[in-house]
Amino acid sequence: MLAKTPPMGWNSWNTFGPNINETVVMEMTDLMVEKGYRDAGYEYVVIDDCWALRERNEKGELVPDPEKFPHGMKYLADYIHSKGMKFGMYSAAGVRTCAGYPGSYGHEYEDAAMFASWGVDYLKYDKCHFAGSADARNAYVTMSMALRATGRDIVFSGCTVGENNPHDWMRSAGAHLYRSTVDIFDSPESFRNNFTQQYDKFSQSGPGCFNDIDMLIVGMRGTGNVARIGGCSDEAYKMHFALWCFWGAPLMLGADLRKLDDFCHELLTNKELIRLNQDPECRPPYIDERQRYHNLNKRLAAIKMLDNNEFALGLFNYSDDAELEVLAYFDDLGIPSGKGIGLELTDIFTGETITKFDFYTPKLPAMTCKIYRAKIVKR
């Protein structure tokens, strides 16, 4: 099975946008190996939009821009594979990509065959310039079938930017992940909005197909293609990454790996957070109905069931400026009150261990979280 756990890798769009080329991709590939990202689980190197010429050739084929990619895509794929990584590319279901390059509408089988011949392992398939008379669901299942017809294992990332209710049908259409939100930007408001739109829809995620709430902005620091003035603080980046890991979203790095500082590097390679994201059971966190109300106040408590009868407890205050009491009542998490049954909680960041019975309602500063390894104990 492809995508047994949420896919992990690096994508060019957040930092480089249209300014992508062979040298940059090779440099990012080298850094993923040298800096330990590959060993941490990030395996895909994905070129996003703007890699092709503006028109197909006389044979109707997509053509890599020879100025940006002078050796062609097969050469680049071979280089990435030689580093123990996998190669990803981009196309769109419309007549044009989002940046105005040729899309794959009406060319699905030819394009899929070409991607396979180049050694592509992952395809991000966007939805721009899509004819109103066309059927979006059919367009995605057509590309899915075209990729499978090549005989090559290619992870299919269906990106409808949240249109057409992708959580209802993308798994059945053969996608391995599906973008369910608008594009992310380097700001707390942006990642919070993407998360809160989808946090209660992750019940559709599981091995083979995952809800994708867009790429990571950790480490961008207000620079790059999706920059916002000021970017995010360390605590905001920590919140962003913790939410993506705890909820089992795909982890696609978006920063310039040449410029990542030590804090962001250590965060993005945090073994405990990645372990939560890559847990083989791939269960989304359990949220009781009370938490849906609390979310309006930008706070959440959730429990995540893991492999080997383990658990994790996540407490999140993603407000901008308010200290909030995050309410975890154990009755709501399947642990009855007054029975002498509680949770031993080990903070994955500090290693501190505490034991709580019946409830745990700490006050957390704005834009902070607590993530615990948890096990059931008796008095």
Partners of residue 157 on adjacent β-strands: 124, 177
183 labelled catalytic: yes
Looking up tokens 């966007």 gives: 126
307 labelled catalytic: no
Q: In what order do the strands lie in the sheet with 86-92?
A: 210-212, 177-179, 155-159, 122-126, 86-92, 44-46, 8-11, 251-253
CA distance 223 to 5: 30
Catalytic residue among 126, 212, 214, 332: 126
| Single-letter code of the amino acid located at 265 | H
Contact 323, 315 (CB under 8 A): no
Catalytic residue among 30, 183, 347, 358: 183
Residues labelled as active-site residues = 126, 183
